[in-house]
Amino acid sequence: MRSVSPAALAYIGDAVFELFMRRYCLLPPSRLRDYHQKVVSYVRAETQAEIVRDLYPLLSDNEQAILKQGRNAAAGGPKRINLETYQYATGFEALIGYLYLTDTTRLEELLAQIKFDLSSPDPA
């Protein structure tokens, strides 16, 4: 999987994580607008950066290396967030993309470790 760039892994990881969150937020049943607001609150860079910092101790050396490569690939981001937050979010997405393409069992294990407060539509 070394032939896929960290930016491409992040691109895939972004889609995979959003789909995971869409599936996760389906219960309890709600209106589509409420689903959307909840999912958006979890896939934002600030939340992803927080998630990856919490998961970091659980990552293997290889997974930490993928995270670092993804962070380093994020040269610039939106002006609404600081660069470090954007880099960690991109690293998280790269890791998700990498695991999706190489080890879905491990991906599910890590995603299951994420602690969400689904009672609030905005975790940030």
Report the distance separating Cα 117 and Cα 14, nearest Å.
Answer: 21
Neighbours of 120 (CB within 10 A): 10
- Rounded to whole angstroms, what are the CA distances from 116 to 47, 121, 122? 10, 10, 10
Q: Which residues are catalytic?
A: 14
Q: Name the nearest CA neighbour of 111 among 64, 48, 26, 68.
A: 48
